Amino acid sequence: MTTSRDFMNDESAEETKASPVPLSASARRVLGVLVEKAKTTPDNYPLTLSGIVTGSNQKSNRDPKMDLDDEDALLALDELRRLGAAREVQGSGRAIKYRHSAYDWLDVDGAGSAVMTELLLRGPQTLGELRTRASRMHPFADLNVMKSVVSGLAEKGLVESLTPPGRGQTFSHTLYPPQERQFLNAKLEKQNAAKSPVAAGESTDTNRTAVDQLLDRLETVNNRIDTLEKRLAELENSNSSD
């Protein structure tokens, strides 16, 4: 594995193994794209920067939709390389390309990486949704097999349940930064409130308004954090170039 174009030794690789840490939204999308394309279009892998941007912004198999540019993708790749989750390689014709190190970084196998990729690319999902969607990257015989894989990922601290066990139980990866995780909780609360019947003589308008306000505040905070992170990265790049 490499960091800033230099290969990491085996000892460094071991230190980054099975270390789930929060990733920015862009880094999660880029990592998901790298693993997905390695599995579904191996002839075009490793990916160029252009391929990463295209894969990140495609309309299918993505939630939420994103509009990353080259700078966004490079910042995400820098983040992943620092963590040992991706590396830069020399492609044919000396073109710079990128590949993931997800298997080592997350300590997962083919089945686990397929599930994590779907969660990174589409967000929270049920076991049924995961089995249907992840099967394009790895075969899952039935829901029991998927349940076993998800349970194994939960034991590693990579996946968690967002809703109680039973029909429609939803699972998520654990790589969200705290502010995004809070936003996700508020969003689920709003969805659950919308599905729940209104108690006799009681209105949910006040509750929904409070949740909406919380979502708005969290979104504002997220946007400010994203802006600050970009400015900090730009300053770091400027200082390093000097």
Measured CA to CA, the distance from residue 91 to residue 221 in angstroms comes to 39
Q: What is the pLDDT of residue 220?
A: 65
Measured CA to CA, the distance from residue 45 to residue 51 in angstroms comes to 9
* Segment 123-132, tens digit of pLDDT: 999 999 999 9
Lookup result for tokens 């966004």: 72
- What's the mean pLDDT when you consider all of the chain? 83
* Segment 14-45, tens digit of pLDDT: 444 445 799 999 999 999 999 999 999 999 99
- pLDDT band at 195, cuts 50/70/90? low
Q: What is the pLDDT of residue 90?
A: 79
Q: Counting beta carbons within 10 angstroms of the beta carbon of residue 160, is it exposed (0 to 12), middle (13 to 18) or buried (19 or more)?
A: middle
Higher pLDDT, 134 or 20: 134
SS3 88: strand
First to last CA, the chain: 27
Measured CA to CA, the distance from residue 64 to residue 119 in angstroms comes to 11
Measured CA to CA, the distance from residue 27 to residue 130 in angstroms comes to 21
Residue 209 has pLDDT above 80, yes or no: no
Q: What is the pLDDT of residue 189?
A: 75
pTM to 2 decimals?
0.74
User: Which of 178, 71, 181, 168 is CA-nearest to residue 123?
Assistant: 181
User: Which of 49, 50, 1, 57 is CA-nearest to residue 25?
Assistant: 57
* Segment 66-116, tens digit of pLDDT: 999 999 999 999 999 999 999 999 766 678 999 999 999 999 999 999 999
Q: Strands 125-126 and 159-161, how do they pair?
A: unpaired
**Alpha-carbon distance values, 9 to 2, 6, 12, 14, 88 (Å):** 9, 9, 5, 9, 15
Residue 7 has pLDDT above 50, yes or no: no
Half-sphere exposure of 58 (CA within 13 A, CB side): 17
- Provide the phi-psi class of 46: left if phi over 0, else alpha when psi is between -120 and 50, else beta: beta
Residue 218 belongs to what H/E stretch?
Answer: helix 205-241
Q: Across the strands, what pairs with 185?
A: none
For 100-163, give the DSSP string: E-HHHHHT--HHHHHHHHHHHHH-SEEHHHHHHHHTTTS---SHHHHHHHHHHHHHTTSEEESS
Residue 72 belongs to what H/E stretch?
Answer: helix 70-83
Q: What is the pLDDT of residue 48?
A: 96
Q: What is the pLDDT of residue 66?
A: 97
- pLDDT band at 191, cuts 50/70/90? confident
User: Which of 103, 56, 101 is CA-nearest to residue 80?
Assistant: 101
Residue 202 has pLDDT above 60, yes or no: no
